[in-house]
Amino acid sequence: MSQISLQASTTRAHGTRNSRRLRLAGSIPAVVYGEGVSPLPVSVDAKAFRTAVSGEQGLNTLIDLDADGQKYIVLAREIQRHPVRGTVAHIDFQVVDPNKPVEAVVPLHLIGDAVEVRHADWEIDQQMFSFAIRTRPDLIPTHINVDISALTPGSAIHVKDVVLPEGVAAAGDPAANVVNTRAGRAAKTADRS
């Protein structure tokens, strides 16, 4: 995984009014925090940040943040958005060690065709659309595929059943349902008659 470089300024003034001025000027107020780092208020260019996180990795992109000469390897952890416009209002950057595992959330993609479920007039019910994992920052996958081909009516796929890439572990409850099956309309009416 390649790192994206992003410039940050440490000269931002605190307060709501100053943050509003920053946003009007095309910048986003942010804070850098993490183990061994005291919270550092910064600002980043809004367009440069959108470009940095618009790749395949999205918010799991490893960012090389240059804050007026101080360099940090960070992940964008929490993004606050304007409630109406949806524009980014504030970012929390977490400093990470590239050699230590971190937690991340990645999207789930269902692949395959549950033929037995379809032939029984049952339906696939996706319970999870994203997945919490624990891995090194450079091993965070863009998504996780869940193969539903082996599903049968009444069966389910749990977190512990999902095949993960090497070096990646599930961070959530292993017994949680990822995908369920349920009787469709045709199967329900057939049971009643």
* HSE toward the beta carbon, residue 182, CA cutoff 13 A: 7
Q: Count CB-CB contacts under 10 A for residue 107.
A: 13
Q: How confident is the model at residue 192 (pLDDT cuts 50, 70, 90)?
A: low
Q: How confident is the model at residue 190 (pLDDT cuts 50, 70, 90)?
A: low
Q: Shortest CA distance to 124 belongs to which of 132, 133, 134, 116?
A: 116
Whole-model pTM? 0.76
Question: How far, in Å, are 44, 123, 125, 132, 155 from residue 150 at the CA level?
Answer: 47, 14, 15, 23, 9
Q: Where would I find the H helices in the chain?
A: 16-24, 46-52, 115-119, 185-192
Q: What is the mean pLDDT of residues 52-75?
A: 87
Domains of the chain and CATH, by start:
4-96 (2.40.240.10), 103-192 (2.170.120.20)
Angle 173-179-182 from CA coordinates, rounded to 5°: 130
- CA dist., res. 6 & res. 79, Å (int): 16
Q: Are 143 and 108 in contact (CB under 8 A)?
A: yes
**β-strands 4-9, 63-67: how paired?**
parallel
pLDDT in tens, 87-115: 888 999 999 998 999 999 999 999 999 99
pLDDT in tens, 112-166: 999 998 898 899 999 999 989 999 988 999 899 999 999 999 999 999 999 999 9
